[in-house]
Amino acid sequence: MLEGLNEAMEHIERHLDARVEVADLARIAATSEYHFRRLFSALAGMPLSEYVRRRRLTVAGAEVLSGDRTLLDVAVRYGYSSGEAFARAFRAMHGVGPGEARRSGAALRSQPRLSFRLTVEGSNPVRYRVVEKEQFKVVGKKVSVPLVHEGMNPAIADFIRGIGKETTERMRVLSDQDPEGIVGVSVNLDPSRAEGTQLDYYHGVVTGADTPADLEELPVDAGLWAVFDSSGPFPHTLQYLWRDVFTQWFPSNPYRSRPGPEILRTRLSPDGTEADAELWIPVERTATV
**What integer pLDDT is reported at residue 45 of this predicted model?**
81
In a domain, 109, yes or no: no
Q: How far apart are CA 43 and CA 119, in angstroms?
A: 12
> Band of the pLDDT at 118, cuts 50, 70, 90?
low
| Alpha helix ranges (H) inside 15-139 | 22-28, 33-44, 48-66, 71-77, 83-94, 98-104
In a domain, 110, yes or no: no
In a domain, 17, yes or no: yes
> Band of the pLDDT at 205, cuts 50, 70, 90?
very high
User: How does DSSP classify residue 67?
Assistant: -
In a domain, 204, yes or no: yes
In a domain, 155, yes or no: yes
**What integer pLDDT is reported at residue 119 of this predicted model?**
55
Q: How far apart are CA 101 and CA 83, in angstroms?
A: 14
Both 100 and 208 in one domain: the answer is no
User: No. of H helices and E strands in the chain?
Assistant: 11, 9
Candidate from 50-59, 97-106, 233-242 with smallest mean pLDDT: 233-242
Both 138 and 224 in one domain: the answer is yes
Both 19 and 93 in one domain: the answer is yes
Query: Does the pLDDT of residue 271 top 70, yes or no?
Result: yes
The string of DSSP letters for 159-200 reads HHHTS-HHHHHHHHHH--SSSPS-EEEEES--TT--TT-EEE
Q: How far apart are CA 248 and CA 238, in angstroms?
A: 15
Both 93 and 133 in one domain: the answer is no
The per-residue pLDDT for range 231-264, each reduced to its tens digit, is: 888 877 777 787 788 878 888 788 999 999 999 9
Residue 98 in contact with residue 74, Cβ under 8 Å? yes
The string of DSSP letters for 101-129 reads HHHHT------PPP---------SPPEEE
Produce one character per residue of 265-284: b if its CB has 16 or more CB atoms within 10 Å, e if not: bbeeeeeeeebebbbbbbbb
For residue 141, the SS3 value is strand
In a domain, 226, yes or no: yes
Last residue of a domain, one of 40, 70, 104: 104
Both 52 and 143 in one domain: the answer is no
**What integer pLDDT is reported at residue 289 of this predicted model?**
41
> Band of the pLDDT at 122, cuts 50, 70, 90?
very low
Q: Is 234 exposed, middle or buried (0-12, 13-18, 19+ CB in 10 A)?
A: buried
Q: How far apart are CA 12 and CA 55, in angstroms?
A: 9
Both 139 and 88 in one domain: the answer is no
User: What average pLDDT is seen over the chain?
Assistant: 89
Length of the chain: 289
Both 23 and 137 in one domain: the answer is no
Both 72 and 207 in one domain: the answer is no
Comparing 226 with 243, the larger pLDDT belongs to 226
CATH number at residue 64: 1.10.10.60
**What integer pLDDT is reported at residue 3 of this predicted model?**
84
For residue 244, the SS3 value is helix
Query: Does the pLDDT of residue 270 top 70, yes or no?
Result: yes
Structural domain count, the chain: 2
For residue 209, the SS3 value is coil
Q: Give the domain extent around 189.
A: 127-285
Candidate from 118-127, 186-195, 278-287 with smallest mean pLDDT: 118-127
pLDDT, mean of residues 22-51: 91
Both 134 and 205 in one domain: the answer is yes
Both 65 and 142 in one domain: the answer is no
In a domain, 182, yes or no: yes
Q: How far apart are CA 245 and CA 256, in angstroms?
A: 11
Both 100 and 133 in one domain: the answer is no
> Band of the pLDDT at 288, cuts 50, 70, 90?
low
**What integer pLDDT is reported at residue 124 of this predicted model?**
55
Nearest alpha carbon to residue 89 among 49, 147, 44: 49
**What integer pLDDT is reported at residue 78 of this predicted model?**
95
Both 166 and 38 in one domain: the answer is no
In a domain, 156, yes or no: yes
Backbone angles phi, psi at 54, to 5 degrees: -65, -40
CATH number at residue 260: 3.20.80.10
pLDDT, mean of residues 142-171: 90
